[in-house]
Amino acid sequence: MITGHRARRIRRIVVIVLVVSSAISAVFGYVIARPGAWPLLSALSGVVNAIVVATPIVLFEAYGVRGEFKRRLQRLPLLVHLTLKTIYYLVCIVGGTILTRLIFHDVMDRPLEFDRSMVNFLIFGTSMVIVGNFVFEMGFLLGFGTLKNLLTGRYVQPRREQKVFLLIDMKDSTGLAERLGPIRFHELLNDFFADIASAALECDAEIHKYVGDEAILTWPAAPTTGGDSLACPFVARDLIAANGASYLARFGVVPSFRAALHSGEIVAGEIGDLRREIAYVGDTLNVAARLLEAAKATGRDVLVSADLLNATALPPDLRAEPLPVLDVRGRRAPLEIFALSRVGQN
């Protein structure tokens, strides 16, 4: 189920990029059609050029930049990282444009030469890739959900929403920082958050923000997302364990974490002046933070509130153990809480 979510999301991104780039390239090809030429054939040439150029680029971004290779790229200086990607993109653009000209050589009676039409397609393809790469980098920086909401103005005016929150906090981060030093601890934290991000992708979650050594993940509060949110901490744990050898080799330790899950109403809206972001305000996040503190006090790794647990079906491989109720400041009734664990594990 979880792997299917990730696969569907990646396929959706690939399809959207190819469809949008093909549509824009069709219009471009139609507009620059030579006098006397059939405009629809020129538009078709633009579609083929977009598919030939964009396919290796988007497949590389979606499937190629993963795992250890992705981690190595992320450790490079941003300028070096972008230079390597630009070289790859240019190869795809030039090669794709030449291949398209070969395909339409006889049909459009165009010789394979560096003419004005080919220059136009090269410039257009390069511009498209630059814009697309900028959008993707902004998406990775802000989060694609946040970027979409900022562009569409969804939260220009504050609005009430029901959300599920998952807070993940690295254990013994202070001790690890003292032992590793600030530079290596930052590298450890970056790898740790990369695994959390992979789990978020697997579970259809949005990463709201990173706060110190804590990550905040969100879902819309709907029955169809509840099972994913409950499973997400264990997906993250599996991903970290799968990279255990790499963690041990680089840092001498495999990080672990505590997690807390809660759902409820929040007010979401844009906030800030020089730097804008989407902020969530309300007791729901405060209760989730209190649950995270309770996880440390009770010695349990994953806690969930009854509010969330009662609203969704518990995945069959998980069990929920009731714990003493939790008194939360500002909440009239004590909060019922449960410890989540895998069936057959303590």
Q: Which of 335, 344, 318 is nearest to 228 (CA)?
A: 318
CA–CA dist 251, 200 (Å, integer)? 24
Residues 6+ apart with CB under 8 A from 197: 207
User: What pLDDT is stored for residue 2 in this prediction?
Assistant: 43
Place of tokens 């090809």: 29
Full-prediction pTM beyond 0.85?
no
Q: What is the CATH number of domain 145-342?
A: 3.30.70.1230
b (16+ CB within 10 A) / e for 202-239: bbbbbbbbeeebbbbbbbebeeebbbbbbbbbbbbbeb
**How many Å is the Cα radius of gyration of the chain?**
24
**Structural domain boundaries in the chain:** 2-142, 145-342
Q: Which of 326, 330, 331, 329 is nearest to 339 (CA)?
A: 326
CA–CA dist 136, 143 (Å, integer)? 9
b (16+ CB within 10 A) / e for 38-76: eeeebbbbbbbbbbbbbbbbbeebeeeeeeeeebeeeee
Count how many Cα atoms sit within 13 Å of the Cα of residue 315 in the half-sphere of its side chain.
Answer: 21
Neighbour tally for 321: CB within 10 Å: 11
User: What pLDDT is stored for residue 64 in this prediction?
Assistant: 63
User: What pLDDT is stored for residue 247 in this prediction?
Assistant: 94
How long, in residues, is the chain? 346
Structure tokens at 154: 């969804």
Cβ atoms of 318 and 289 within 8 Å: the answer is no
CA–CA dist 128, 139 (Å, integer)? 16
Per-residue pLDDT in tens (0 to 9) along the chain, 346 residues: 345 566 777 778 788 888 988 898 888 888 877 766 677 887 888 888 888 888 888 888 776 655 556 666 666 676 777 778 778 888 888 888 888 878 876 655 555 566 676 777 778 777 877 777 777 766 666 666 666 776 777 777 888 889 999 999 999 999 999 999 999 999 899 899 989 988 988 888 888 888 889 999 999 876 655 588 999 999 999 999 999 999 999 999 999 999 999 998 889 887 877 667 778 888 888 889 999 999 988 899 999 999 899 888 888 899 999 998 888 776 777 889 999 999 876 5
User: What pLDDT is stored for residue 50 in this prediction?
Assistant: 85
Structure tokens at 120: 């136009």
